[in-house]
A and B are shown apart, each in its own frame.
Chain A
Amino acid sequence: MLDFFQALENTGFSTWIRESGSIWAYPIVLTLHTIGLGMLVGFNWAVDLRLLGVGEQIPVLSMDRFFPWMWWGFWINAASGLVLTIADATTKMTSWVFGVKLALIACAIIVLRQIHKQVFVKQSSDGKALAAISLVLWILATTAGRLMAYIGPVSGLVGTSNN
């Protein structure tokens, strides 16, 4: 398996992403990953907050219109995340923190789909419990994502000094 990750990491594309120094390689992909996070988690949190009682004058069902923006964020991050994973396959695929991050995202997406189904489509639930779970899952997923730079096998730029 490690051979496969090694091969992925050594492709011309991976090497270009990682080492070309071009603005269009690693920096832009990472920027897209940040923007996608803002869209998916941000709008999901806005819906969660509404279900938990913030802005009660907002008709819940009208927030349906924000779901496509979340899915845009999701796909931007699936694509940019895949590129970032391939570029550092041997470190990312052996990092347990990365595994935890992916599992948390999977749970958060399942909860998001449940919110959509139960609150918006079937209208069978006020979604309060799901919203609370969703809020926490995204905090944990974001935390796991950030900690990939500090725990376990780490790639790229690390460390800081105040000199």
Chain B
Amino acid sequence: MKNTTYKFLILLAIASTFTTACEDRIELDLPKGETLLVAQGWLTNEDRPHQFRLNYSQQYFDASIPPAVNDATVILRDSDGIESVLDETSPGIYTYPQGGEAGTAYQVEITLPDGKHYMSDFEELAEQVEIVDIRWRISSRGPSTLLDEDPDQIYEVVIDAFEPPGVGDFYRWRLIVNGVEKDLPQNLTISSDEFVDGNPIVNFEPFFELFFLGDTVTVIQERITSEAYNFLLLIQSQTAFVGGPFDTPPAPISGNVRNLADEKRNALGFIGTSGRSTATVIAGQ
């Protein structure tokens, strides 16, 4: 529901800028911030290699590829104390060859070549919640009169699931259309179970995306920790929901990777776990 709130705020913004509001790209001098380590990656229940990425932050207008952190020592540790040293399989990418197990917590310890030492908080890998069914349906929304579209060929995709009883579950959905993940800020979709706890979730449309006939649509439902949810919520509010009159003041987003020697210089980013369930449908078939 929290994301519904935000949707409302976006709509408010649309409404209030009904007539003549406009945005212009401008040139600006920005303060130059410090370069910090950025650490990220997810360990899921899927039996496949998992990648953890290390690189550095950049000046805001620097559009180059973020510099990779090479030759770090990266250790994945589980709550039973079992450690695995990860291989750097390509520059800045450290790979764990297998999946994680539900109910086990994981952390990553990073030592940079210059000796800086970081540790992520333990995150417990949650049991996945299955997508029971995935369907397409003809959309009643649109089509926009501005585009010459045939309304019969506009589809929405909905899923069914059973939300387990007990408040405190958090979800993220990923959308893959014809093999390409939609990964812009506005595609980031998360929710807590606060308002739907223990309910059958029927005809849930995680993305307000419309599809064409023959699109292969894959929805991945990830059950994440509350820490990951809060982190993603902030990412969302400071990247997807900006530019309206009702923006909240931006503020530092702290992740879960701590600098053990200097708490003011924690790493940016998040190393998390998720229990995944995947379902695919072809629109119109």
Do the two shown chains form a genuine complex with each other? no
**A positions within 8 Å CB-CB of B:** none
**B positions within 8 Å CB-CB of A:** none
